[in-house]
Structure 1
């Protein structure tokens, strides 16, 4: 598993890079995790509905090819893109989603944060508020896109949307639940957990 630390990157350019990587990869191509932050952007999944964007504003909206509904990305949020060959692992996308959720919950547990899953609504929640979202695209047995964890960011743009398509869904972040969280450190911790879960499968 290769880990790429990309820093702050434009969403559409990173999306194009993921598609290019996935189109060119061969059976022997090593899987990669990309750690990234994005400038403020709303992204709509393939089943996203326009009514889930509640207010016109100066934050761009990108129609993406990932699963799921609308979400927000911005500085202080950890985004990890999972470029994984599912066929080589012998698993399906549902199992991959489960592995990602398990890794996020383990991460939060190491920081003393109790989290849970919600039936029928992918992602990770703390006391009913969403702290992590995920959405994958699978093409030719390979995944791209991935997950986001709210670490230490401005949460107010989430008020401009129905997060992940759920009206009134509260969101939270690690910085409001524990002390001394650093985005870079959290990214390193979560990539280690993801690598462990994926490679042990």
Structure 2
């Protein structure tokens, strides 16, 4: 049987968004996932956006990694169904939420996590930076500083949540937590190595690396 080239191409819808409240993005992801669990033939999705300041806790994560009292805090906090510990989102951090059907790629969560790391590593390479992996930990490091956090949730092999790359955020908020529950490894941002870098320019590099790593065709969606 001869398969057409078109039939073999994996399409991925790209939603390039700006600043979006965490809860709104979370509900959107859950909706997209539910649609694809119901109909696995729907196209994959990649959402790129930034969040207003917010702390998120992974499923089963330890609240002791917060350095403030949850009951008397002034910061938005959400406990989600992703893996991983507490993390911080804010403007200047580029967040990617892939909604992928892993049955089209590889039904292996460790493989998927390594692929997300590879996307970030390739983006850093564009700037001449060498991103590192640390065995037994998930994420990407630059010279010992964690610049990208990754946390996922998978249902029926459909993914949600994803990665957060510190491009040029105000790092103050990270001081109120033990990021990802790792006390002995500091966080960093690309702006420390590349002054003046912006999320706007990094977006295109993320899309290019994501296309290469997952072997997909990006279809950009225009949202009003």
Instruction: Tell me whether 1:49 sits opposite 2:65 in the alignment.
Output: no
Query: Secondary structure of 1:122's partner?
Result: coil
Cα distance, 1:180 vs. partner? Answer: 3.8
Map Cα deviations across residues 77-114 of structure 1 (whole Å, 9 max, x no partner): 00010100001223311111111101101110111222
Map Cα deviations across residues 118-141 of structure 1 (whole Å, 9 max, x no partner): 111100011111000000100011
Q: Do the aligned residues in 2 keep the contact of 1:112 with 1:178 (CA within 8 Å)?
A: no
Counterpart Cα distance in 2 of 1:11 and 1:87: 28
Counterpart Cα distance in 2 of 1:140 and 1:79: 23
Q: Do the aligned residues in 1 keep the contact of 2:48 with 2:94 (CA within 8 Å)?
A: yes
Q: Of 78, 81, 84, which residue of structure 1 is paired with 2:94?
A: 78
Query: Secondary structure of 1:47's partner?
Result: coil
Gaps of 5+ in 1: none
Q: Do the aligned residues in 1 keep the contact of 2:107 with 2:157 (CA within 8 Å)?
A: no
2:33 maps to 22
- Choose 183-192 or 44-53, whichever is displaced more: 183-192
Q: Do the aligned residues in 2 keep the contact of 1:137 with 1:145 (CA within 8 Å)?
A: yes
Query: Secondary structure of 2:31's partner?
Result: helix
Instruction: Tell me whether 1:143 sits opposite 2:159 in the alignment.
Output: yes
Gaps of 5+ in 2: 1-11, 217-224
TM-score, length-normalised on structure 2? 0.86
TM-score, length-normalised on structure 1? 0.95
Alignment RMSD (CA, Å): 1.2
Could you list the runs of 4 or more consecutive aligned residues of structure 1 that deviate by over 4 angstroms after TM superposition? none
Q: Do the aligned residues in 2 keep the contact of 1:105 with 1:115 (CA within 8 Å)?
A: yes
Paired residues, what number? 200
Query: Secondary structure of 1:136's partner?
Result: strand
Cα distance, 1:168 vs. partner? Answer: 4.2
Instruction: Tell me whether 1:96 sits opposite 2:112 in the alignment.
Output: yes
Counterpart Cα distance in 2 of 1:13 and 1:110: 32
2:74 maps to 58
